[in-house]
Amino acid sequence: IASQFVPKHLLGKRVLVTAGPTVERIDPVRFLSNDSSGKMGVALAEAARDMGAYVTLVHGPLQIPIPDGVTALPVESSAEMLETVLAHFDDQHLVIKSAAVADYRPTTVHAEKHKKVHGPLTIELEETTDILKTLGMKKRDQILVGFAAETEQLETHARAKLEKKRVDYLVANHVATPGIGFGADENEVTLFRADGTVHRLPRQSKQELAHALLLQFKEAIR
């Protein structure tokens, strides 16, 4: 539906969305990343804007257009995403972490391109900071939403993440199912709430799903 007809359920609210993959540099021409397209996060940013929110979109490299009318803050690495999100966290009403943040990054980033004459290359990886968990520890009145990308035991893993990261909502998706999840235009998710209740959202376009999810999240905003 045209944006002017969308009910303004988030009028005047500040919503921060993270989207897309992060990029962890190995050297100036090589990096580690993942399959995230950013479509779900961008759909959420767009839907929140249409509901009247002031939207900040912190995003990794995207191959899809950034919606008009949102404040887009591009980042590369998980460290940059952490810094940018923290700088804008305090005055948000709702923070949705749909980005696929790298779990590991190279321990050292080489200043020059690695040359083959040096022989085989071993890349040592270290864990990145868990941005969502950091926000969960820091949050006051903000409503915090996490995503979970799972390929098996969805419910068990999702509930564990909900608790460990102290989020209000956890959106779980089966990323290995063809036609939904990473890169797809449609998605089908299970929404876990901090109070233990569960809500299944059937397969639909990421735009429709973004709208349906925001209708859930807005209930918790004070």
187 is catalytic: no
The smaller minimum CB distance to ligand CTP, of residues 93 and 105, is found at 105
Stretch that binds Ca ion, among 100-108, 124-132, 181-189, 206-214 (CB under 5 A): 100-108
Under the binding rule (CB under 6 A), the answer on residue 147 touching ligand CTP is yes
Burial class (CB in 10 A: 0-12, 13-18, 19+), 65: exposed
Residues 32-71 as x/- pattern, contact with ligand CTP by CB under 6 A = ----------------------------------------
DSSP string for 70-134: SEEEE--SHHHHHHHHHHHHTT-SEEEE-SB--SEEESS--SSPPPGGG-S----EEEPP-HHHH
Out of 34, 36, 84, 98, the active site residue is 34
Which of 16, 17, 51, 149 touches ligand CTP (CB under 6 A)?
Answer: 149
Residue count at the site for ligand CTP (CB under 6 A)? 14
**34 is in the binding site of which of ligand CTP, Ca ion, none (Cβ under 5 to 8 A by kind)?**
none
Residue 103 assigned as binding residue = yes
Q: Quick check: 103 binds ligand CTP (CB under 6 A)?
A: yes
Using CA atoms, how far apart are residues 17 and 10, in angstroms rounded to an integer?
Answer: 14
- Give 92's contacts (C-beta < 8 A, 6+ positions apart): 14, 15, 16, 56, 142
Element (H, E) at 14: strand 14-19
Helix, strand, or coil (residue 202): strand
C-beta closer to Ca ion: residue 90 or 155 = 155
Please give the residue ranges that form the binding site for Ca ion (CB under 5 A): 103
Q: Which residue positions form the known binding site for CTP?
A: 103, 113, 147, 161, 165
Positions marked catalytic: 34
